[in-house]
Amino acid sequence: MPEWKRIPERYRVPVDPAEGGTLEVFSYEDRGIGRRALVYLPRACRKDPALRCPVLYLMHGGGGNEEEFFGGTSASTPLKSMLDRMIGEGTVSPVIVVTPTFNRPAEEGVDPEAVRVHAGDAAALTAVFWRELEESLIPAVDRAFPTTGTRDARAFGGFSMGAECTWSVLCRGGRAVRYYLPMSGDFWAVSVKGGKDHTAETCGRLIDGIRANGLRPEDYRVFAVTGEEDIACEAMRPMVGELMNRAPWFRDAEEGGNLTWRLSPGWHAYEWCWDYIALALPVFFPGPAGTRD
């Protein structure tokens, strides 16, 4: 693997507000329940009303909420500054970033698979978020913001339990999203840490879902990443290794396939997500100064 390089320090420095994007609270409804997300709009949207942008959906980890990645509308994390600079420097095309939450009130019957979802049960909530994404969030975002409105211009990523959610979206809701960024988390369709304890069955479940959605290997692209010191590595490494052996459904991107695997020297913390997002975004949505690998 290539030598790991941390994001440049300038990515952590806020740009002049007039030169950067904006952050706002976005409210929408899912089956009559009020829902909330944060939305980053690039500056290019203010300059060109006719512009239509791709969208990256980012899901937080266990114990977090929709404010986790940006640190609220005050942008207390480096993510907004990093996006402003990457877009401004042409590394990535102007992209809208939406950070929703899988947290929701306790309900019965909310899941098409008849899974009872309890408030606070992160494993159940991440497993069924694909339905809310497909039925409610994506349509609401496409109505409210200048998106392209196409599957090929949508990415979904997440950290920790958000990574489990990412694998679940690929498995169950892949018809709505093309690009995936699971950060520090495996797929729990069989069991918690199924990537380690039930590797072959977990990968089989993922591929069965992809096949059931009518997708071909060229219809999706995965950028999977974690840290060598990350607690998620012990489950994610064998899972991704097994997926690499499941041609034609997954093949190494370095050999022209659809799956990239990267290992940082990092641990289980949002601090490493900035590196991961900075690596993946130019692959998904390259700007004039970037190239798709």
Domain boundaries, the chain: 9-283
Residue type, 5: K
Q: Which CA distances in Å does 79 have to 13, 44, 67, 202?
A: 10, 17, 12, 32
Report the C-alpha gap between 170 and 207 in whole angstroms: 9
Q: What is the pTM of this model?
A: 0.94
- The whole-number pLDDT of residue 122 equals 78
Q: Which CA distances in Å does 39 have to 21, 59, 139, 146?
A: 10, 12, 14, 12
- The whole-number pLDDT of residue 119 equals 42
Residue 248: cis peptide before it, omega within 30 degrees of 0: yes
SS3 state at 252: strand
Fold (topology level) of 9-283 = Rossmann fold (3.40.50)
| 159 neighbors 60 (Cβ within 8 angstroms) | yes
Report the C-alpha gap between 18 and 162 in whole angstroms: 32
- Low-confidence residues of the chain, pLDDT below 50? 112-119, 292-293
Continuous segment of H or E residues that includes residue 259: strand 259-264
Residue type, 157: G
- The whole-number pLDDT of residue 114 equals 43
